[in-house]
Structure 1
Amino acid sequence: MKQAKNNRIETDSVQLINIALGKVQVSISGTGLPVLVIHGSPGGVDAAKLMAGFLPVNQFRSISVSRPGYLRTPLGTNASIDHEVAQLVAVLDELGITRIAILAWSGGGPVAYRFAVNYPERVTSLVQLAALSSRWEKPNYPLDSRFLFRSVLGNGLIRLFAHVALNRLIESALASEGAIRGLELKRFTADVLADETQRQFVLAITKTMSWAGRRRRGWNNDVTNYGQIDTLELEKVRCPVLLIHGDADTDVLPKYSRIAHDTNSQLILLKGGTHLAFYAHPESYAVQAKAKKLVSEVPVSCSFF
């Protein structure tokens, strides 16, 4: 691995890389084929590292980042989507990585699409998880969600629930991210609780879903940027794309994956899946295997044509 000019980049540690376009918080883990991991809105490098958890560390080198305005990555004066893409390219240059697969979730989707559009020669494949693909307007979230995720006190209660009311926290997380209710919600909750990997993921990722503190500026910037999207020029994406979406997702509606679906892509809709479906669903391991297969393939040309 190449060292950044003024930074010692170490595997399995969180570093702040200085580039000409600013600073980016980065964590690198594993060895093998490089995968850029782009978290959603809100999030941070902690969320990206959780996203990459299904990738075997002896086969993949995950480059997880905090996007602008999240945790230790400053928002900067130019907060556009394309500027964020340019920052990511500069980080990869520092690391000596010329071509890479991209794994993106939710609000990381627009950045991943624009990366593939602006730098097609550098992207081998895209895996888009419940990803935004066009203009998004922030919904009017329920009062309880605004309290839990938008205040320091609410964030503290989430951590408390993780210790004293785990079942309720898992159930609430699934309910807040999807349209499942009643017996179906109870069944999904029981399945997640019975699976240690899925249970631990939902528990951990919930702690990163804060609109407050060190994530507030990034969240606000995403809300502004995504509400102004005219086009992401999806028709210019030429690399293989895997789209995975829960059909009961209420956070990012399945229509966003349908909009992005074309002859270059494969679309998988998970029945009853919430916004967390790639990681918490009866078919999670099957779709994760498909994602691993795609990012393992390094085509001679990143195009089907």
Structure 2
Amino acid sequence: MRSDVVRTRLGPIECAREGDGLPVLVLHGTPGGVDAAGLMAGFLPRPEFSPILVSRPGYLGTELGARRTVDEQADLLVALLDELGIDRAALLSWSGGGPVGYRIAARHPGRVRALVAFAALSKGFAEPPAPLLDRVLFGTGVGQWLLRTAGALLPRAYVTGALDNEGNLSRDQLRAQANAVLADPAQRAFLLSLIPTTARTGARKAGCDNDFEQFAAFDPHDLGSIAAPTLIVHGDADTDVPPDHGAHAAAAIPGARLRTVEAGTHLCLYAHPEAETVQREVTDFLRTS
């Protein structure tokens, strides 16, 4: 994937656009980057859809600069649409990309055709203390090497660990979901390809650190002003962003639809026995909204 740094009236942002179909602005989580956005958009049919992949401020090729708050980042992304000559776009957000997606829809209603928020933060969120193992795996170069090695040499162990870390599945559910992911080439490839995007070090550190500062102060006061058709997808076993974030947004946004994925972890749109079904629902929603 080739990305470029686009100069907007509110500063530079790393971006890659695929095709000329229905534009979908893809907002990655925390951590992430344009590479993670590319993985998120993988299920959208081309050339019908044209994903606009970005690195949010502080990630990879997008400098953090003064674009720290959720409002500033929302305005920056609308400035990107201006620079690309796009009047209206759909939004697809995941996890830590949720606040920016919601704020774009609230602050710039005329620019949003539809909104899909997957496992998205919708209210203030304090980062919980991370276990030592997580701090090593995601916060050090050695930890990232260990994750990549596990993914390459011990894919079953890696997939099982990823699902277990992102949800509160029973032992039987965990085994069944790991088997389903390993048997599905697309789901398996997604999880293994996601590994490099999970680093909280290097070119992703500034964005990740800033995200958690902003999440703690996030005020979702204007969710009720969102007018765009909204689909919220959330797993009921998500331990990364608890399901009440999805329920809160669905209750606050007029006409929003909540799609709860049973035994769904924070990865369930991409790694779950029903993932393909839910992806079709998302695609149909974007197509018809």
Q: TM-score range by the shorter chain?
A: over 0.9
Q: How many residues align?
A: 287
**Residue 283 (str. 1) matches residue 274 (str. 2):** yes
Q: Are the aligned partners of 1:110 and 1:232 in contact in 2 as well (CA < 8 Å)?
A: no
What's the counterpart of residue 201 of structure 2?
212
Q: Does 1:154 align with 2:143?
A: yes
Structure 2 distance, partners of 1:166, 1:282, is 18
- After the TM superposition, list the runs of 4 or more consecutive aligned residues in structure 1 that deviate by more than 3 angstroms: none
Could you tell me which of 69, 73, 89 is aligned with 2:62? 73
The question of 1:135 aligning with 2:155 is answered no
In the TM superposition, residue 283 of structure 1 has moved relative to its aligned partner by 1.2
Q: Distance in 1 between matches of 2:18 and 2:33?
A: 16
2:42 to 45, 50, 53: 53
RMSD after superposition:
1.1
Say if 2:170 is the partner of 1:175. no
Calculate percent identity across the aligned residue pairs.
43
In structure 2, the partner of 1:271 is 262
In the other structure, the counterpart of 1:82 is: 71
Distance 1:106 1:206 in 2: 16
Q: Using the alignment, how far apart are the partners of 1:219 and 1:60 within structure 2?
A: 29
Using the size of structure 2 for normalisation, the TM-score is: 0.97
Alignment partner, residue 295 of structure 1: 286
Q: Say which SS state the counterpart of residue 206 (structure 2) adopts.
A: helix
Alignment partner of 1:106 is 2:85: no
Shift of the alpha carbon at 1:13?
A: 2.2
Taking structure 1 as the reference length, what is the TM-score of the superposition? 0.92
Matches of 2:281 and 2:42 in 1, distance apart?
15
Checking the alignment, whether the CA contact within 8 Å between 1:177 and 1:250 is kept in structure 2 is yes
The aligned residue for residue 190 of structure 2 is 201
Match of 2:115 among 104, 108, 126: 126
User: Shift in Å at residue 26 of structure 1?
Assistant: 0.4
For 2:68 and 2:190, the matched residues in 1 are separated by 30
Q: Secondary structure at the match of 1:132?
A: coil
Q: Would you say 1:261 and 2:261 are equivalent positions?
A: no
Change (3 A) 1:261 1:124: same
Structure 1's unaligned 5+ residue stretches are: 1-11, 299-305
Normalized per residue, which structure has more helix? Answer: 2
Q: What residue in structure 2 maps to residue 303 of structure 1?
A: none
Higher mean Cα deviation, 168-177 or 228-237? 228-237
